[in-house]
Amino acid sequence: MNYRLKLFTLLLWGLPLLQIAAQNENDTDNPPTKPAGYYTDTVDIAAAPPRLNQKFPLSDQNNEGGWKINKELSDEFKGKKLNIDRWHPNNPGWKGRQPTYFHGSNVSLKKGELVLKINQHGDEEIPEGYTHTAGFIKSKQKLKYGYLEAEMKLMDAPWVSGFWVTNGSKDWWTEIDICENDPGVAENRHDLHSNIHVFRSPPEHGDVQKHFMRSKTYFIPFELQADYHVWGLEWNEDVIRFYIDGILFREAENTHWHQPLEININNESNKWFGALPDERTDKEFHIKYMRVWTQ
């Protein structure tokens, strides 16, 4: 079916205008059918910049931002074992969201990549209420402001692949989700999620006593799990910017995220995303590198 005929057919079906705008020659055979207003916007893939070097963020290859690599926080994952001076090999403070239990057996380095798997715990008994295990690494150092980037291939199964920063302290509990996507769930294959949270703030802050989030979802005209893609976060005192393959797709005012945050990479189940385990436990989450720059 050519593009004009496809557009005419969609108009007859009465799909939301935003979805119609998203249909193009890069569509897969099964485009999503989301309600009107579900997508904030469509990501313009034509705007993706070429990779000219590995020294600077993909979105700023000429280093106009004056970025300097933070070698203590960055990791190319080239060794045989995870650098435990840099990373906790599991989440030291969170068992996992049922039915998935975080277990260190699911974390490994293979062929120059970090690989997070499912159910590698063998016959080891896991706590009641959990039926599956997944992987989690957390940085031992915290970061306040900077640019974070990771090249990743997400899981092609009903699991959330995550790359995010957070701080859970007595006074503040905040989070920025750089990547929190589950394209292995059929209806979410074209969804690019973006979320920032405030779960807790000190009483003197006044305006945040209960959890709130600013969530947006964008249409992306390919399936995220089909190949490697680059996720980026630019975070400073004023703004939070989200990137995919060097394309700026969201900018949010930084009203609350001024605390040093820990870096997390994990896979997990999450009913809110429709990501509940099935028999596909042989799928993997691959991360080529995780780099941090500061100004």
Q: What is the pLDDT of residues 67-105, one digit of tens each?
A: 999 999 999 999 999 999 999 999 999 999 999 999 999
Task: Please name which of 74, 231, 91, 69 lies closest in space to residue 166, comparing C-alpha atoms.
Answer: 91
pLDDT of residue 209: 57
Work out the average pLDDT over 6-23: 35
pLDDT at 184 over 80: yes
Count CA atoms within 13 Å of residue 200 on its CB side: 9
CB 87 within 8 A of CB 75: yes
The CATH 2.60.120.200 portion of the chain extends over 41-294
Backbone phi, psi, residue 185, to 5°: -85, 120
Phi-psi map region of 112: left, alpha, beta (phi>0 left; psi -120 to 50 alpha): left
pLDDT of residue 141: 97
Residue type, 94: W
Architecture of domain 41-294: Sandwich (2.60)
pLDDT of residue 205: 64
pLDDT at 197 over 60: yes
173-181: strand order across its sheet? 87-88, 136-143, 261-268, 160-168, 173-181, 191-200, 212-219
pLDDT at 17 over 60: no
pTM: 0.88
pLDDT of residue 201: 77
pLDDT of residue 10: 34
Residue type, 51: R
pLDDT at 1 over 50: no
Helix (H) or strand (E) holding 151: strand 146-153
Task: Please name which of 136, 184, 139 lies closest in space to residue 165, comparing C-alpha atoms.
Answer: 139
Work out the average pLDDT over 48-52: 97
The percent of residues in the chain predicted with pLDDT above 70, rounded, is 87
Rounded CA-CA distance 9/204 in Å is 56
Average pLDDT over all residues of the chain: 88
Task: Indicate the pLDDT class of residue 177, thresholds 50, 70 and 90.
Answer: very high
